[in-house]
Amino acid sequence: MKKAGILNRHLSGEIARLGHTDLVMVCDAGLPIPEGPAVVDLAFRAGTPSFAEVLEGLLDELEVEGAVAASEVRETNTEASTLLDRLFPGSGTTGLQLVPHEELKAMTRQARLVVRTGECRPYANVLLRCGVPF
């Protein structure tokens, strides 16, 4: 049995399948999930697990070269906005890019993996682009 890192066997297995430039959507409980990507639904109860907890756990295991979030997060969910700024400093292709929420939802169709959290605050979503550690 794994003794550290992500213990959820479904999520751990999907992470192992990811490669360079693959997209991973980490989303709140309300984001519509399109047909296509693999989905690991971690939602248990409203707020559990939180967006922050899941995102930080994923970042411990993934090499990420960029991230995209909804611009609406700035006005509507300051806690998520602050978290994203801390985890993805800067802007451009290596930092946090902001797009309209409708565009972010459309981009989700290109994701290889969607990880649904129990987060119930709006716009707690981020699309991660996998990188390589070299």
Whole-angstrom distance, CA of residue 51 vs CA of residue 35:
22
Rounded Cα–Cα distance for residues 4 and 69 (Å): 29
Give the active site residues.
20
38 assigned to a ligand binding site: no
* 3-state SS, residue 6: coil
Q: Is 28 annotated among the ligand-binding residues? A: yes
123 among annotated binding-site residues: yes
**Is residue 130 within 8 Å of residue 64, measured between CB atoms?**
yes
Q: Which residues of 112-122 are buried (b: 16+ CB within 10 A; e: fewer)?
A: bbbbbbbbbbb
101 appears as a binding residue in the annotation = yes
Q: Which residues are annotated as a binding site?
A: 28, 101, 123-125
Q: Which residues are annotated as a binding site for substrate?
A: 28, 101, 123-125
